[in-house]
Structure 1
Amino acid sequence: MPDGGVQARTMAEALLAELARRGTRRIWGVPGGGSSLDLVEAAPRFGLSFVLARHEGAAAMAAVADAELTGAPGVVLTTKGPGVANALNGLACATLERAPVLLVSDGFTARQSAFVTHQAFDQRAMTAELVKGHARGETGGVAALLDLAMAAPRGAVHLDLTGEAARRPPVAEPPGAAAPPAPDGGDAAALLRAARRPVILAGLEAAEEGSAAALLALAEALHCPVLVTYKAKGVLPDAHPLHAGIFTGGTLEAACVGAADLIIQAGLDPVELIPQPWRYAAPILDVALRPHPVRYAEPAAARHGPVAASLRALLPLAARSDWTAEEVAAHRAAALAALAWAGGGGIAPPDIVTIAQEEARAAGRAPRVSVDAGAHMFSATAFWQCAAPRDLLISNGLATMGFALPAGIAAALHDPARGAIAFTGDGGLMMCAGELATAAEAGAPLVTVVFNDAALSLIDIKQQQRQLPTAGVRWARPDLAAVARGFGVHGHVATDAAEYRAALRAAFAQPGPSLIDVHLDPAGYPAQLQALRG
């Protein structure tokens, strides 16, 4: 938070003061020569630190993780032109992950726009499809823009701020208007009274503050299975007896959800689900921040507004269901068994995950994890045990590669006592390997575990399923431990479980970031994909 008595004398300082008031702690980015220099210089006076990233897209993904962990706006800072262009994938990630992120870009003055062509394009038009709103710093509008980012569905917004505007006196801004509440629909009480075998599907909105406790109370009152999306991992602890596994909209969870006579969607956003038809006939009670205009199935009843309050309102209506603890345990065990590894040599991906958690606990650590897109995420999301919301960070709505490393850095800096583990594939790491230098420079307590199978394995599987010749999906296995050492990160290679355990112990004993390059055979991935998605 800003020091007491700090007065905002410029537009740049007013922006920083507003961010600090909302709880923002860091700005990520690659500065240019305009307003970004003013923001970097003034940030410490308002309690914000600037983290120099190596790529603007990675900076935006770190800002996504910051926003999810703090509940405050994440911020990414770029120069004009190529800086804005580089940030686009991160902005798409923010909007589809429902994370409030502010892009602050250097801009062109009206005088410059009349004659400058170097690096010039319509920056507002370029980001328009990826952000919820745009403002120019000359006219203020910062508070309203941040309110828009925080309003459901949360997402990215864009502030174009020229150097001239950044140094002008601040503009007084009116408070933003609150969004009207969404109407409820249907008879939730009647659905709950009639249900004997309800199932709760928890999604990303259930990870909001207070929602996990309300969901736990409802689940225990109903004594029914709870399945979680990737982004809702930890909303109900994995160790809880009512935890029944992961819900993606695929095959793995079908036996459990198919036995339900009522499906309670608790904060489930359709952006989280894979593109498959909805396969369940049971009525849906939708508990969400707002109505979803595009969805897989229409609810029979809905409660809209803060998820925690809506779940608490349902609690007096809940009666114990007919589900038994043995049934829930059987569904949970069956899901994990279906993802068991049946591959070739090297370390099995489920073992890579479980051994990491075992060694972390032995070292007295409870790290958060970040997970990249790719075939390794099947094991990472299923076998890493979460105890609380945001114990696992993942790009699910956009499902972009190159997320785990910058998100892991953000998680490690957010809570250094816990630190973080980034589970990534070799392909995903190579998209953002420069951020290893960011981790080293920041001294982030981060262990990056690379599932190095020398391929884009998920795409390789799909190519095989179509019986196409292998092309464009495999490469010579890189020495990623050597790359890490070149960036000042402790680098280790593991080809079997013993080497992997030794590398983890060394990583947890060393200060700063480490990377473990784990060589594996991807032969078991097709069976996992079939079990998960059908």
Structure 2
Amino acid sequence: MQTTTAADAIAAGLASLGVRRMFGMPGGGSSLDLIVAAERQGIAFTLARQESGAMFMAAAAAEVSGRPSVVLVTRGPGVAASVTGLAHADLDRCPVLLVSDGFTPGQRRYVTHQVIDHGAIAAPLVRGRAIAEGPDAATCLARLAAAMEGPCRGPALLEITDEATRVQAAPAAITTPPTAAPPREAVEQARRLLSGAQRPAIIAGLEARDAAPELRTLARALGAPVFVTYKAKGVVGDADGLFAGVFTGGAAEAALLAEADLILLAGADPVEFIPQRWRYPAPVIDIARFPRSPHYVTPAADLIGDVGASLAALAPEARPSEWSPGRIAASVSAWRGALATRANGPRPAPSEVVTIAADAARAASINPRVTVDAGAHMFSATSFWPAREPNDLLISNGLATMGFALPAAIGAALAEPGRRTVAFTGDGGLMMCLGEIATAVENRLPIVVVVFNDGRLSLIELKKAGRPVPDESLGWAHPGFAEVARGLGCRGATVETAESYRAALDEAFAQDGPSVIDVRIDPSAYPAQIAAIRG
């Protein structure tokens, strides 16, 4: 059997998985050997400014490309700083391989400097973990690749020392097992439920992104309304007559779903729902890659396996339902009306920030991808940005972490060169990852960062519930993001009116490279908006 170095064996294995770029903050050990070996395989490396930022970049690249992604970090602090990104990849089901420098067997006996238990830290978050000693490096990678692409996709951890990367190693075939088809008995049970339903409704979730054609075919045959979770935006486009709005598990979608006599959860992972009781009495067909425990509801039928195959298996039983296009359209209109925000002064309201950006993109004849940070602004961004296809909108939903939008925009832009990206972020979220503006500048990425700047942690402020929390505990002086952006070599503008915001967008969309638009917003409508969504 032909042998090569472990670093080359790992790089070849990554190339066979379709990896075209790695991200990270390298240490002085194995990561340097892997960068060199990967370049020989045509795999580029992007230097991030912080490890969790690199993880968000990699997760976004994995979602956009449909292939696993890789992050390189140093041992000790590098792994510790990656934990938030690992947690995001875990709960948002992203196959990201974290590769860290490790300790040799001898070092494990006497070294204490920077020594932490990488495996213990990562264990609750990863699908697999391996310590490659060198000769077994490719085998370790093959095992972790299969684990990351298993029924519950997610991250994995590979540790390897610089000494081990230079050891002779044999290549290994890397295969990912196909997702099984659903059991025949379960399909028959689901078909019986569907054939007896007059008003079925569909809730599409993150697993449906890989099965959009099958879901659209079934929905059209039924004439049924389709709700999408944040992660499933675009599985059915916002302009589609069957699009019924965004489902979170709250109040906004309740009126229409209360009329359903059957609910199909199409790839909807319970991790996507807010912690509210399931409020619908209709029986549920759960179509999922793997069984969930705990679940919000006890399904009447479980189709566990390939989501596309499950949806296709139901199509022969699909008959036109009693839903009328007018009823679905009226529900969507009421939903949007309840969530729309209006400013009390010249500063734009949150939903206006989104709709103005969408109008500017349309006028410029571009179709940007959107990344959305956690915070009160995410309700406007996810509700009012018009998605056409899966992954047109990227968000940290399961973990719902701040500091996601900008690095995710970088990862997405690098995964699909040439497509513009708009990062909708709050002021608090951007302050967590400001350094990544420099990453966008160095890579000349066509990213427009739109900052909802109100000088507050607005979503947390909404949760005060009468507590006498000191004002300085939830707010700060308005940061000058445009000035920071210009200092990092990026275009920057501060705007305080809808008119100046439109002009800044037009300029940003007309030029190459990144821009930061610091929008001073009117947040007064947030309380009514969150009440309409969550009840």
Q: State if a TM-score over 0.5 links the two structures.
A: yes
1:133-165 CA-to-partner distances (Å, cap 9, x unmatched) read 100111331101111011121111000011011
Distance in 1 separating the partners of 2:129 and 2:322: 51
Post-superposition Cα deviations, 1:385-442, rounded to whole Å, max 9, x if no partner, equal 0000000000000000000000011112222322100000000000000000110011
Match of 1:204 among 206, 212, 228: 206
Tell me how large the CA RMSD over aligned residues is.
1.5
Mapped contact 1:460–1:470 kept (Cα < 8 A): no
Correspondence for 1:155: 154
Between 467-476 and 77-86, the greater mean CA deviation after superposition: 467-476
* Residue deviations 1:329-388 (CA, integer Å, cap 9, x gap): 011111100101144331111111111111112222111000000000000000000000
Partners of 1:352 and 1:289 in 2: CA distance: 37
The match for 2:53 is 58
Task: Report matched runs for 1:227-376 at 5 Å.
Answer: 227-345=227-345, 346-376=347-377
Aligned to 2:164: 165
Normalised by the length of structure 1, the TM-score is 0.96
SS at match of 1:463: coil
CA distance in structure 1 between the partners assigned to 2:490 and 2:342 by the alignment:
33
- Out of 76, 80, 83, the residue aligned to residue 75 of structure 2 is 80
Q: 1:468 Cα shift?
A: 4.7
2: distance between equivalents of 1:417 and 1:441? Answer: 16
One-letter amino acid of the counterpart of residue 414, structure 1: A
Q: Pick from 185, 188, 191 the counterpart of residue 193 of structure 2.
A: 191
Q: Are 1:124 and 1:134, in contact at CA under 8 Å, matched by a contact in 2?
A: yes
1:321 partner SS: coil
- Deviation string 1:166-185 (CA, Å, 9 cap, x unpaired) is 11112454666848847564
Aligned counterpart, 1:453: 454
Deviating more after overlay: 121-130 vs 443-452 = 121-130
Structure-1 separation of matches of 2:503 and 2:252: 34
1: CA distance, partners of 2:483 / 2:432: 16
State the distance in 2 between where 1:178 and 1:380 align.
36
* CA drift at 1:250: 0.3
CA distance in 1, matches of 2:432, 2:176: 40
Structure 2 residues without counterparts, runs of 5 or longer: none
Q: Which amino acid in 2 is paired with 1:416?
A: P
Deviation digits for residues 472-513 of structure 1 (CA, Å, limit 9, x no counterpart): 111101110001111111101110011101111111122211
Give the 3-state SS of the residue equivalent to 1:462 in structure 2: coil
Q: Following TM superposition, by how much is the alpha carbon of 1:523 offset from its aligned partner in structure 2, in angstroms?
A: 0.8
**Which of 92, 96, 100 does residue 97 from structure 1 map onto?**
92
Distance 1:458 1:121, change over 3 A: same
2:16, 2:174 within 8 Å by CA — same for their partners in 1?
A: no
Q: Is the 8 Å Cα contact of residues 201 and 228 (structure 1) preserved in structure 2?
A: yes
Give the conservation status (yes or no) of the 8 Å contact 2:360–2:505: yes
Three-state SS of the structure 2 residue aligned to 1:319 is: coil
Partner of 2:501: 500
How does 1:9-28 map onto structure 2 within 5 Å? 9-28=4-23
Q: Structure 2 counterpart of 1:16, which letter?
A: A
Which one is further off, 98-107 or 414-423? 414-423
What secondary structure does 1:220 align onto?
helix
> Are the aligned partners of 1:30 and 1:78 in contact in 2 as well (CA < 8 Å)?
yes
Change (3 A) 1:520 1:34: same
Tell me, in whole angstroms, the C-alpha distance in 2 between the residues paired with 1:10 and 1:258.
Answer: 61
Any idea what SS the aligned residue of 1:375 has?
Answer: coil
Structure 1 residues 499-508 or 463-472, which shifts more?
463-472
Relative to structure 1, the CA distance from residue 168 to residue 240 in structure 2 (aligned partners, 3 Å threshold; closer, same or farther) is same
Q: Which amino acid aligns with 1:44?
A: E
Once residues 475 and 165 of structure 2 are traced to their aligned partners in structure 1, the CA distance between those partners, rounded to angstroms, is 47
Change (3 A) 1:177 1:502: closer
Distance 1:374 1:217 in 2: 35
The residue aligned with 2:526 is 525
Residue 226 of structure 1 is matched in structure 2 by 226
Question: Identity percentage over the alignment?
Answer: 54
Aligned residue identity for 1:398? L
Q: Give, in whole Å, the separation in 2 of the partners of 1:58 and 1:99.
A: 15
Aligned-pair CA distance for 1:293: 2.1
Secondary structure (helix, strand or coil) at the match of 2:250 reads: coil
**SS of 2:485 mapped into structure 1:** helix
CA contact (8 A) 1:149 1:157 kept: yes
- Counterpart-to-counterpart distance in 2, 1:8 and 1:354: 57
- Could you say what secondary structure the match of 1:522 adopts? coil
3-state DSSP of counterpart to 1:422: strand
Structure 1 gap segments, 5+ residues each: 1-6
Question: What is the total number of aligned residue pairs between the two structures?
Answer: 526
Structure 1: how far apart are the matches of 2:126 and 2:251?
33
- Letter matched to residue 480 of structure 1: F
- SS class of match (1:192): helix
Instruction: Evaluate the alpha carbon distance shift between residue 172 and residue 416 of structure 1 in structure 2; reply closer, same or farther with a 3 A threshold.
Output: closer
Q: What are the residue-to-residue correspondences of 1:409-424 with 2, within 5 Å?
A: 409-424=410-425
Which letter does structure 2 place at the counterpart of 1:292?
R
Deviates more, 1:467-476 or 1:212-221: 467-476
Deviations 1:284-318 (A, max 9, x none): 01111121122100110121211111111100001
